[in-house]
Amino acid sequence: MTAESLIQLKHSLAQSYPDFEARATSAWNEVLQELNTVADTIAKSGPDYVPIIDYNDLANVTGDKLAQLKRRGTFIVRNVVPEIEATQWRTDLKDWIAANPDAEGTPADNPQYFQIFYTKPQVAARAHPNVLNVQKWCNNLYTHSDEAEPVDLDAPLTYVDRFRMRQPGFAWGAHPPHMDGGAIERWRDPTFRKAFESVFRGEWRSHDPYHLKGRIGGTTSTEGQPNQASIFRTFQGWLAVSETGPGEGTLKVFPDILLSTAYIMLRPFFSPTVDSSHPEALAAKNWRYGERPQFTGRDGSKLISDLTSPVFHGVATAESAGASGGVRPFEFSPDTHPHLRLEDTMISVPRVHPGDMVFWQADVVHAVEKEHHGSGDSSVMYIPAVPKCPQNDEYVAKQARAFVEGRPPPDFPQGRTELDYAMHATKDDIVSPLALKAMGLVV
């Protein structure tokens, strides 16, 4: 999008909702006040703030526990797969790596994030009945709107992704705080924008991250932008095949999806009236709606965000992202989103064991720890929760053809065929009818 079109988008949004300035300003002030309190609690609690449930107790998660889980947007499900089975998958992945020393991955000279999709353990994990069942449970945390979206929450689909086997001492800076599943599209796309209408109306407390309105059929990716998923995921997720905990290269999250969403969606309309070095730089009284002076952030960037500026904070343009994909479409920092207090509130998820799964709702701000100070590899297979709906059916059909041909799935860079690798999986490795349906291999 051009600068002119981005400015026009801001004006269009402001004109689309009654009394937008007054309602947005009231909501902004309320969000900042509550953010300050919740941020203190998150920072003090650390990993304990992330809810944990056991696979065998999924049917019993109700009431306050369910409300807590949904508000925080991130949770661990223990014992999805028996530990002995998940540990064997880790051994099998190591055997696969040993048999394919030229496998594609990052960094190129010592791969630990593998651009690999169809090893036998990956295919087995996606087909496991417990994995499919917990995906179904995750999907059903969502509710339909009056528009009766064409989605079957009881029919999980498989989104093929990669695996990591991160070694101790390996520093990784490619995943700072970011959000997947749409960047500028959250404001620009008329369908996707419906998911956030309560925020734009100033009724941020009524925003429901698990309402399907705007989620089905919305455009969540922009042509030319890297690191995007073109499907609708109810949750992103991974399955642990090794033990890993805080400080060992694990996931970090901002665990309050209601506050972070309201703040992020309103942020482009507000600017500071004092410099970031001011002792009360974060106070609501020092932030204003509309056309205001611009100030310099700690990194030298300009923080102007009035209606004459094309800036949607954290959103990368196609030009800044570049062909290499070095910049994610939607990143967050203390300069772009200072009230999130990311240095304190991006907490690591608790320790997991082989067979545990971690899920985070698609709007959750998340990151990967830069350092791995543990003694063993931190290994996971990325397996999100995906429901059956038209856009996902279309993607899975293409993905199924790619699997049969050994090609990377459509959302990923196209490299060598995995048929060239030893020990690759085929359709014959999937025997469950439910798993075959989830993979789009049978109707």
Residue pair 141/58 in contact (Cβ under 8 Å)? The answer is: no
Q: Which residues pair with residue 178 across a beta bridge?
A: 331, 366
Each as own residue / partner, the long-range contacts of residues 57-63 (CB below 8 Å, 24 or more positions apart, any chain) are 58/134, 58/137
The conformation of residue 388, written as its DSSP 8-state character, comes to: E
Class of domain 3-438: mainly beta
Q: Which two tokens stand for residue 265?
A: 């969606």
Q: What residue has token string 């390996």?
A: 170
* Domain spans in the chain, listed from the N-terminal domain onward: 3-438
Q: Which residues pair with 271 in a beta bridge?
A: 288
Number of Cβ within a 10 Å radius of residue 139: 22
DSSP conformation class of 284: G
- What are phi and psi for residue 70, nearest 5 degrees? -70, -35
Tens-digit pLDDT string for the chain (443 aa)? 788 899 899 989 999 999 999 999 999 999 999 999 999 999 999 999 999 999 999 999 999 999 999 999 999 999 999 999 999 999 999 999 999 999 999 888 889 999 999 999 999 999 999 999 999 999 999 998 777 789 999 999 999 999 999 999 878 777 899 999 889 999 999 999 999 999 999 999 999 999 999 999 888 876 655 557 889 999 999 999 999 999 999 999 999 999 999 999 999 999 999 998 999 999 999 999 975 545 555 555 544 445 778 889 999 865 554 444 455 689 999 999 999 999 999 999 999 999 999 999 999 999 999 999 999 999 999 999 999 999 999 999 999 999 999 999 999 988 889 999 999 999 999 999 999 999 999 97
Q: CA–CA separation, 21 vs 287, rounded Å?
A: 13
pLDDT, position 306: 59
Q: Give the SS3 label for residue 345.
A: helix
Structure tokens that stand for 337 in this block: 């989103």
Q: Could you give the CA distance from residue 167 to residue 379 in angstroms, rounded to a whole number?
A: 9
Q: Is the dihedral of CA 131, 137, 142, 146 positive or negative?
A: positive
What residue type is 366 in one-letter code?
Answer: H
Q: Reduce the DSSP state of residue 62 to 3 states and report it.
A: coil
Q: Which amino acid is at 133?
A: N
| Structure-token pair, residue 142 | 């969502």
Helix (H) / strand (E) containing 393:
helix 390-405
